Amino acid sequence: MRHLYYTLQTLLRGHGGTVEKLVSLTLGLVMGVLLFAQIAYELGFDRFYPNPDTLVMLRMRNVTKGVPEPEYNYSTYRPAAADLSEAFPELVESACLTAAFWKPTFYKDDKKLEDIQTLFADTAYFATTGLTLLQGNPNDLNLMGNAFISENKARELYGDESPIGKELSVEKLFNVTIRGVYADVPGNTIMPHDLLLSMAAMDWGYGAGTWGTNNFYGILFRLKQPADVETMNSRIQKAVEQYTDTHLGDDVVTEYSVLPLYKVYRSLPDSTRRLVILGVLGFSIFFVSILNYVLRAVAAMSRRAKQVGVHKCSGADGWHILSMFLWETGLLVAASIVCGGLLLWVLHEPVEELLGSRLTDLFTWQTLYVPLGTVLLLFLVAGVVPGRIYARIPVTQVFRRYTDGKRSWKRGLLTVQFIGVAFIGGLLLTTVWQYHDLMTRSVGFRAEGLAIGIVTGDIQRAQGVADAIRREPYVEAVAGSGNNLLAHYSTNRLTDNQGNFICPLHFMMIEKEMPQVVGMTLLEGHWPQHRGEAIVGRTTVETLKWGDTAIGRQLPIDLSWSGLEEPAIVTGVVEDVRNMGFFQEQTCTAFILNDRIRTFNVRLKAPLDENLKRLNAFIKSTYPNLALEFTTYQDVRREQNASVSAFRNTVWVTTACIILIVLMGLIGYVSDETQRRSKEIAVRKVNGAEASDILRLLSVDILKIAVVAVAIGMVAAWYVSGQWMQQFADSRLLSLVWYVLLALLLLVLVVAVVVCKAWRIANENPVLSIKSE
């Protein structure tokens, strides 16, 4: 108990910067635990299914001249589920179809429901995945009008009432009746859902896919043994070839395989890069926090040495001194846990938005080892290192001033902190620039001031809507298209004269004035005027090697399904539209004049936000039975780049925390140095040194550490930023000049802190310092 008493007295009197240590440990612990827990959470994707080693997903990729594509496509063809189950009866227990291509809007009592995650599935879904069905018969998923709901969503929508028999409206097109309730699906899954709809509803909206068409189905197999994964992969290619031709030309073959579902997320290159960078961020701020604690303890050594000497005179040995510091660290860590818990409780909503995960999902009994391990490591390093240093102080220090400044320790710790703040600052620079670039880079049309609304289901429901919108005074122009311009269009295979596959063509149907309304840039030719005429993107012309003769060419795709019996004729070439965003390479695009439109592109007058609200209010009052709601293309771009925005915000918060931690460490270091060198400073002033000379002396001493450390941190940030940027097509790093400017800014900040903290002693009467000696 004596140790506890002495420790409490020391902490309450603020020896060694108690408040600064507590703030540093709290920030480092909170951010470290959050980032490490997020990594553990993402590494656990889809492991909640029973026997996850035997639940596999079908995937495919193209192999060109023996060289496979770097990434797999996990959306495949509908017949594969039944056909491959039949081909491998000795391996496959069951198989199911899933799809999440269509994300319909739901209404309950004519009120639009938010945050409904939908998955379309067949009757074998529960048997294949092993997900617990609490109420209902899985065979009910055979009917289009039936749906199953998760336990939590049912409670949210209906409270204590039973959801069975309740109805929801799908896009105000048809109603579905809830026939079953299933256990909640955790958030760490590649197939999130809280509402299951019948696959028959997907067929109604988009038709039943066949081999070679509509490759938007996720196909799951439940195998009998984990070893069956390898067996199935060794024979699957020949099995597929029994049902469809896998050759897309002389040199291109579609390769099929299966992978355990829980490995799918980690197999994605973008996920791997994200996890690595999150790990680097977590370790950076966590260890900077620990090292700052050690630095503050070492910096206070000259003031606490006599206290240690008194304890040793009273019979304390090295172990007793070490245990005192372990008690001190333990109490501070306990206090930081309490403070961190309160901080997360108060800020849980912005924290969950920042991470994209609920805190209740991050901290479960299965992942409890993450915060416990983090706290234990923090306690051991922060308590043992300074404790052993203090334990070695000789007992004679009770009789004289302790002069060992442990400069090598302090400089080393400060160097690591400077490296950490420069590294994370460099990452912040990259992410801020990247998000700005993604949001401002041209997408091939004038997105500013343009709103979009999509009608699902029967196109005839949209008749007359465009004319009604066009008459509104706040509307400049309206034009229809087959889909959102920043989405996955209809696709068809482009082939050469020998029938060899070249690439997919992304195309959509448009109205006559649509290119001008959305602000496309015409590079050659003229806008389409008659049904069946088309404009194509620059990349389409280059890929097909049309050269200077694009005008008058025929698009080599079948359009009979759209009512066009003849091939589309190219009348113009436009700047490429980035319909797939900037995470993928530029696609080949075409826009064909036709009347099969379901999307309204509305050019609004300023002010945009106010007029958007007026437009939605007009649609709701005039067409109450039409599920049509407008948003801006800028909002569509924000949603597309939400992952980049979330990562940028994570780096923002981490940077702010680490800067605060490092500044507190730097202030403590400067305070210790000015106190330790007070006599030297006084002698220099007596001999004629000015205050500016003293400040320059201390600043240069810090800069000798900071310049090298900041340079190392910036180089590391530049390298990691390059890895992060690989997920973006046509991406480029910022010029090195910006990293140099950021490094200079950090050095200026360091000097400013030194000057502010040392200002008093630099201007103090030297007689006072000499008398105190």
Summarised one tens digit per residue, pLDDT across range 433-454 is 888 888 888 899 999 999 999 8
pLDDT over 50 (residue 533): yes
Enumerate the β-bridge partners of residue 176: 168
pTM comes to 0.79
pLDDT at 691: 73
Nearest-angstrom CA–CA distance, 331 and 338: 11
> Are 159 and 147 spatial neighbours (Cβ–Cβ below 8 Å)?
no
Nearest to 127 by CA among 178, 182, 64: 182
Integer Cα distance of 416 and 668 in angstroms: 15
Name every residue whose Cβ is closer than 8 Å to that of residue 772 and which is 6 or more positions away in sequence.
678
The answer to whether the beta carbons of residues 80 and 92 sit under 8 Å apart is no
Q: Which residues pair with 490 in a beta bridge?
A: 507
Q: Are 76 and 215 in contact (CB under 8 A)?
A: yes
Q: Please state whether the peptide bond connecting residue 515 to the residue before it is cis, i.e. omega within 30 degrees of 0.
A: no
- Identify which of 415, 290, 302 has the alpha carbon closest to the alpha carbon of residue 666: 415
Which of 458-462, 516-520, 523-527, 758-762 is predicted with the least confidence, judged by mean pLDDT?
458-462
Q: How many CA atoms lie within 13 A of 357 on its CB side?
A: 23
Polymer length of the chain: 773
Interatomic CA distance for residues 331 and 318, integer angstroms: 20
Contact 588, 504 (CB under 8 A): yes
Determine the average pLDDT of the residues in 559-571: 81
Pairing relation of β-strands 252-260 and 67-68? unpaired
Taking alpha carbons only, the member of 757, 714, 666 closest to residue 20 is: 666
Lowest mean pLDDT among 28-32, 323-327, 633-637, 752-756: 323-327
Looking at the predicted structure, is the pLDDT value of residue 14 above 60? no
Residues 6 or more apart whose CB falls under 8 angstroms from that of 752 comprise: none
For Cα atoms 685, 691, 697, give the angle at the middle one, nearest 5 degrees: 85
Whole-angstrom Cα distance, residue 310 to residue 302?
A: 14
pLDDT at 398 over 50: no
357: its two tokens: 């995960």
Specify the pLDDT at position 399: 46
Chain centroid to CA 523: 36
In this predicted model, which residue has the larger pLDDT, 606 or 412? 606
So what's the pLDDT on residue 487? 86
CB 112 within 8 A of CB 105: yes
The residue among 725, 741, 742 whose CA lies nearest residue 733 is 725
How far apart, in whole angstroms, are the C-alpha atoms of residue 85 and residue 221? 8
What are the CA-CA distances from residue 333 to residues 25, 289, 633 (Å)?
7, 12, 48
Q: Buried (b) or exposed (e) across 467-485, using 16+ Cβ within 10 A?
A: eebeeeebbebbbbbbbbb
Contact yes or no for 616/552 (Cβ under 8 A): no
pLDDT band at 499, cuts 50/70/90?
low
Most confident of 104-118, 289-303, 679-693: 104-118
Q: What is the pLDDT of residues 248-267, one digit of tens each?
A: 766 788 999 999 999 999 98
- Find the farthest-apart pair of alpha carbons in the chain and give their distance in angstroms, rounded: 103
Least-confidence region, from 45-59, 101-115, 374-388, 516-530: 374-388
Instruction: Compute, in degrees rounded to 10, the torsion defined by CA atoms 642, 647, 652, 657.
Output: 140
pLDDT band at 597 (very low <50, low <70, confident <90, very high): confident
Residue 249 or residue 416, greater confidence:
416
Mean pLDDT of the chain: 84
Ranges 66-80, 507-521, 644-658, most confident = 507-521
DSSP per residue, 483-513:
S-TTS--EEEEEE-TT--EEEEEEEEEE-TT
- Interatomic CA distance for residues 733 and 718, integer angstroms: 8
Q: List, for residues 644-658, the tens digit of each pLDDT value.
A: 888 888 888 888 888
What crossing angle do the helices spanning 318-346 and 348-355 adopt, rounded to 10°? 90
Is the model's pLDDT at 271 over the cut of 60? yes
HSE-CB of 765 using CA atoms within 13 angstroms:
4
Q: Which residues partner with 536 through β-bridges?
A: 573, 590
State residue 459 phi and psi, 5-degree precision.
Answer: -65, -30
Write down the number of H helices and E strands in the chain: 25, 23
Other C-beta atoms within 10 Å of 681: how many? 23
List residues bridging with 450 in a β-sheet: 603
Q: Is residue 393's pLDDT more than 70?
A: no
Task: Calculate mean pLDDT across residues 339-360.
Answer: 85
Share of the chain above pLDDT 90, in %: 34
Q: How many CB atoms lie within 10 A of CB 248?
A: 18
Give the pLDDT of residue 392: 66
User: Residue 711 and residue 717: Cα distance in Å, rounded?
Assistant: 10
CA distances for 404 relative to 80, 158, 401, 413, 502, angstroms: 74, 70, 9, 16, 73
Q: Dihedral through CA 380, CA 382, CA 383, CA 387, nearest 10?
A: 130
**Distance between alpha carbon 125 and the CA centroid of its chain, in Å?**
29
Asked if 660 and 30 touch (Cβ cutoff 8 Å), the reply is no
CA-to-CA dists, residue 314 to 7, 317, 320, angstroms: 16, 9, 11
| pLDDT band of 381, cuts 50, 70, 90 | confident
CB 477, CB 539: distance < 8 Å: no
| Range with the poorest average pLDDT among 84-88, 401-405, 597-601 | 401-405
Write out the DSSP string of 636-667.
Answer: HHHHHTHHHHHHHHHHHHHHHHHHHHHHHHHH
Asked if 232 contacts 88 with a C-beta cutoff of 8 angstroms, the reply is: yes
- The CA distance from 139 to 35, in Å, is 42
Lowest-pLDDT choice from 192-206, 539-553, 677-691 = 677-691
Least trusted range by pLDDT, from 165-174, 188-197, 289-298:
289-298
Closest CA to 293 of 516, 87, 32: 32
pLDDT at 407: 63
210 compared with 563, residue with greater pLDDT: 210
Give the β-pairing of 252-260 and 106-108.
unpaired
Residue 184, pLDDT above cutoff 70: yes
